[in-house]
């Protein structure tokens, strides 16, 4: 394995977490992770050594997700109430998975531009300036999308 | 003190003076304190739910997608090369004959013997899984074989250049099934499934065999639906 592949391998768990912040369910998230890794390997000549490999691969993932979204049919924003009751009576690891699915469904109800902002800052822990650069928007735009997304999540989660 | 500022405070985006200001405002106002708590809880909840994803290693994809050969480049290269004397027997120039001897050698090396070879001279039938993959996979798909290119040869048969785990080459669909017409061992040592059909030798083979242009995606779908007949 060369340096590029080693670097990419080290980043894959983080990319997979980001994918779970974007995708509608874990299976889609894993597909998105694999597609991103394939694309990164194929386009490795376009990465400039000395720049952030993480930012470059996050951007690849985000663009693949946007492209998929254009052809994907928008689902109803309203979920059936039974879809929201999944966390009752389960414990331990199963509870953790149920919580993850629950939060992914909440994220899925956000508009794409709020969702990517929330995923980058609140899940991936990027600084506002890093997330804004990655999404190629001014910091003010990023901040307002982030705040609107967080307010919507607070309402959905009954917080 | 607005919500944006409180969220920025929770996200660690403020300078120490700004943070101190927000802290003082929140301490003095139960409404702001509740708002700050709410956003802190949400952030903690997301962090906790998504963090376990980092514990599982994710493998790199095993194979790189097939690269599509630029036939134009190969033709250009051929046109510019010095003209070579015509081979005395056309039969010897046909890559299938070369492939046949090469492949028999490969198979003997794997100890599998001549079983599975068709009894037709110069023709090599492919194993069922490889034949099935050649029947069904579109160019660029990842699977049992990676197909780079589909085209018609001068006999009007469909042919596909591909790479599989140990061997790459060109196979054509004859009445009896897929037959190898050119083969080369694949160097999988570095996990790099070099594409037969993108290395210069097999690109030249394709260039000698092809009649017209390679199939596009629509042509390929049609050929898959028709069973490559």
The DSSP-derived string for B157-211 is: -EEEEEE-SSEEEEEEEETTEEEEEEEEE---TTS--PPTTTSHHHHHHHHHHB-
Report chain A's mean pLDDT, rounded to a whole number.
Answer: 85
Nearest CA in chain B to A6: B60
pLDDT higher than 70, residue B115: no
- Tell me the range of A15-24, B61-70, B82-91, B149-158 where mean pLDDT is highest: A15-24
Question: B228 versus B186: which is more confidently predicted?
Answer: B228
Closest to B63 in 3D by CA, of A6, A41, A50, A119: A41
pLDDT (mean) for B185-200 = 51
Q: What is the pLDDT of residues A121-134, one digit of tens each?
A: 999 999 999 999 99
Contact residues, A window 34-53, toward B, CB-based 8 Å cutoff:
34, 37-38, 41-42
ipTM value of the model? Answer: 0.86
Average pLDDT over chain B, rounded to an integer: 73
Q: Which of B136, B135, B132, B192 is closest to B168 using CA atoms?
A: B192
Phi, psi of A88 (to 5 degrees): -80, 130
Which range has the top average pLDDT, B28-32, B100-104, B201-205? B28-32
| Sheet containing B177-185, strands listed edge to edge, beginning at the edge strand earlier in sequence | B124-125, B177-185, B167-174, B158-163, B146-152
Q: What percent of chain B has pLDDT over 70?
A: 64
CB contact under 8 A, A13 and B60: no
Q: Considering only A31-40, A80-89, B4-13, B219-228, which range has the smallest mean pLDDT?
A: A80-89
Residue B221 confidence (pLDDT): 87
Nearest residue in A to B64, CA atom: A38
Mutate to test the interface with A, among B18, B61, B65, B141 (most CBs of A within 10 A): B61
For the entire predicted model, the pTM comes to: 0.55
Query: Terminal CA-to-CA distance of chain B, rounded, Å?
Result: 73
How high is the pLDDT of residue B72? 62
Is B112 exposed, middle or buried, given 0-12, 13-18 or 19+ CB atoms closer than 10 A? exposed
Per the model's pLDDT, the better-predicted residue between B149 and A134 turns out to be A134
pLDDT of residue B10: 96
Name all domains of chain A by residue range, CATH numbers in brackets. 1-73 (1.10.1740.10), 76-109 (no CATH), 111-159 (1.10.10.10)
Residue B178 pLDDT grade (very low, low, confident, very high; cuts 50, 70, 90): confident
Confidence of residue A39 (pLDDT cuts 50, 70, 90): very high
Selected residue with higher pLDDT from B70 and B105: B70
Answer whether A41's CB lies under 8 Å from A47's CB.
no
> Are the Cβ atoms of B50 and A14 closer than 8 angstroms?
no
pLDDT at B226 over 80: yes
| pLDDT on residue B58 | 82
Q: Does B193 have pLDDT greater than 70?
A: no
Residues 127-156 of A with CB under 8 A from B: 127-128, 143-144, 146-147, 150-151, 153-154
- Which whole number is the average pLDDT over A62-81? 63
Cβ separation B46–A41 shorter than 8 A:
no
Element (H, E) at A21: helix A3-22
Distance from CA of B56 to the nearest CA of A (A): 7
Each residue of B48-86: pLDDT tens digit?
999 999 988 788 876 544 445 556 665 666 666 545 444
- What is the least distance, in Å, from the CA of A94 to any CA of chain B? 12
* pLDDT higher than 90, residue A15: yes
Measure in Å the smallest separation between the Cα of A155 and chain B Cα atoms: 10
Helices (DSSP H) in chain B: which residue ranges? 3-10, 16-28, 30-50, 71-80, 90-93, 95-109, 128-136, 200-209, 217-225
User: How many Å apart are CA B189 and CA B169, to the nearest integer?
Assistant: 18
Kindly tell me if the per-residue pLDDT of A118 is higher than 50: yes
Confidence of residue B164 (pLDDT cuts 50, 70, 90): confident
User: B14 or A77: whose pLDDT is higher?
Assistant: B14
Torsion of CA A104, A108, A114, A119, to 10 degrees: 20
From CA B217, how far away is CA B75, in angstroms rounded? 22
Distance from C-alpha of A103 to C-alpha of B28, rounded to nearest angstrom: 32
**Cβ distance of B8 and A121 shorter than 8 Å:** no
Residue of B nearest to A34 (CA): B61
Q: Cβ separation of B53 and A20 shorter than 8 Å?
A: yes
Asked if residue B103 has pLDDT above 80, the reply is no
Beta bridge partners of B184: B168
Count CA atoms closer than 13 A to A25's CA, side-chain side: 2
Asked if A38 and B13 come within 8 Å (Cβ–Cβ), the reply is no
C-beta separation of A18 from A119 below 8 A: yes
Least confident of A105-119, A134-148, B23-37, B88-102: B88-102
CB–CB contact A103 B46 (8 Å): yes
Both structure tokens of B63: 């194979």
Query: B52 and chain A: CB distance < 8 Å anywhere?
Result: yes
Is the model more confident about A46 or about B143?
A46
B228 phi-psi bin (left φ>0, alpha ψ -120 to 50, beta other): left
């Amino acid at each position: 394995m060369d340096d590029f592949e080693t670097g990419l391998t080290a980043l894959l768990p983080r990319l997979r977490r980001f994918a779970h912040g974007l995708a509608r369910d874990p299976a889609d998230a894993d597909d998105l992770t694999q597609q991103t890794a394939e694309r990164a390997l194929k386009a490795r000549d376009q990465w400039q050594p000395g720049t952030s490999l993480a930012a470059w691969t996050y951007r690849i993932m985000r663009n693949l997700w946007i492209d998929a979204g254009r052809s994907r049919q928008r689902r109803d924003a309203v979920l059936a109430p039974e879809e929201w009751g999944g966390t009752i009576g389960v414990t331990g690891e199963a509870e953790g998975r149920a919580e993850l699915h629950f939060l992914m469904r909440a994220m899925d109800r956000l508009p794409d531009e709020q969702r990517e902002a929330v995923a980058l800052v609140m899940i991936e822990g990027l600084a506002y300036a890093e997330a804004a650069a990655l999404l190629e928007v001014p910091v003010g735009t990023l901040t307002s999308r982030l705040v609107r997304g967080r307010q919507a999540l607070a309402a959905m989660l009954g917080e | 003190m607005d919500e944006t500022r409180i969220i920025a405070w929770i996200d660690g985006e403020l300078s120490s003076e700004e943070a101190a200001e927000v802290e003082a405002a929140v301490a003095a106002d139960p409404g702001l304190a509740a708002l700050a708590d709410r956003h802190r809880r949400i952030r903690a909840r997301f962090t906790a739910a998504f963090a376990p994803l980092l514990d599982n290693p994710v493998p790199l994809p095993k194979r790189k997608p097939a690269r599509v050969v630029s036939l134009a480049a190969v033709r250009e290269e051929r046109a510019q090369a010095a003209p070579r004397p015509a081979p005395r027997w056309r039969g010897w120039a046909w890559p299938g004959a070369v492939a046949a001897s090469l492949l028999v050698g490969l198979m003997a090396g794997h100890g599998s013997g001549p079983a599975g070879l068709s009894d037709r001279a110069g023709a090599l039938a492919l194993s069922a899984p490889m034949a099935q993959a050649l029947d069904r996979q579109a160019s660029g798909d990842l699977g049992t074989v990676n197909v780079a290119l589909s085209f018609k040869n001068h006999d009007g048969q469909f042919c596909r250049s591909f790479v599989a785990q140990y061997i790459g080459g060109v196979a054509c669909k004859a009445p009896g099934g897929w037959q190898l017409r050119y083969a080369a061992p694949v160097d999988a040592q570095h996990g790099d499934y070099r594409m037969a059909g993108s290395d210069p030798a097999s690109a030249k083979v394709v260039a000698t065999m092809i009649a017209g242009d390679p199939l596009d995606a629509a042509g390929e779908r049609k050929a898959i639906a028709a069973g490559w007949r």
